[in-house]
Amino acid sequence: MDQEVWVANEDLHRVFVLHAESGALIGSIPVLFPIGLHVSSEDPHTVFIGYRNSVSKHKNNNHNNNNSSNSNSNSNSNSNSNSNSNNHASNGDENGADLGGVWSVDRRTLAKRMRFSLLSMRHPTGIVAYDGVLYVADQSAQSIFTFNISTGKFIRRYVYLFLSLLLFYLL
């Protein structure tokens, strides 16, 4: 278990687990737009995988396609939709919501255990687990969200502006 390298590939919508010495593929986990990984020091059998929503990616693709020629625009949009549809990766809830969030994954089986997400989470860029609490920094929301790791229950939201002001006055 300590001989692994975990790689999040946003374009392939997968997190790959490789053997550290040989580079051999141990397994992979389908996750739409994975962007961050954190191995829990409290539970070495847990890896947290942050993923962003797909809205910003689609907006960027549409913007780029509008600036290119019609033939390139059509081929780009077809290849994007084909690669996404063949992926079988999903982060959405039962209602199909496309949110950003974090999955906890069993490091031994590569099975997803629990999803930590809120409507306001779009682009979680930093993940840390400490003392039974999962801290998730979200770039789009400019906030840090906290969750109870055992229950998945949301605890609190810290807004960056408040943290910046607090640091300003403390320093």
Q: Which pLDDT does position 65 carry in this prediction? A: 35
Long-range contacts of 111-119 (CB under 8 A, 24+ apart): 112/29, 113/46, 114/152, 115/91, 115/152, 116/145, 116/147, 116/152, 117/93, 118/145, 118/154
Element of type H or E holding 136: strand 133-138
pLDDT number for residue 41: 87
Which of 42 and 63 is assigned the larger pLDDT? 42
Q: CA 29 to CA 131: how far, in whole Å?
A: 26
Q: pLDDT by residue (tens digit) across 93-133?
A: 443 446 899 999 999 999 999 999 988 888 898 999 999 99
Which pLDDT does position 130 carry in this prediction? 94
Residue for token digits 């919501």?
A: 97
Spatial separation of the C-alpha atoms in residues 137 and 133, rounded to whole Å: 13
Indicate the SS3 state at residue 169.
helix
> What are the residue ranges of helices labelled H in 3-159?
55-66, 70-85
State how far the Cα of 101 lies from the Cα of 120, in Å rounded to an integer.
10
Tell me, what's the pLDDT at 2? 66
CA–CA gap between residue 77 and residue 125 (Å, rounded) = 27
Contact call for residues 147 and 133 (beta carbons, < 8 A): yes
What confidence tens digit (pLDDT) does each residue in 142-167 have?
899 999 999 999 999 988 776 666 66
- On the CB side of 120, CA atoms within 13 Å amount to 15
**CA dist., res. 24 & res. 106, Å (int):** 20
What local confidence, expressed as pLDDT, does residue 54 receive? 76
Q: What is the pLDDT of residues 44-82, one digit of tens each?
A: 999 999 999 876 544 444 333 333 333 333 333 333 232
Question: What mean pLDDT is predicted for residues 75-90?
Answer: 34
Q: For position 55, what pLDDT does the model report?
A: 67
**pLDDT for the residue 9:** 95
Share of the chain above pLDDT 70, in %: 68
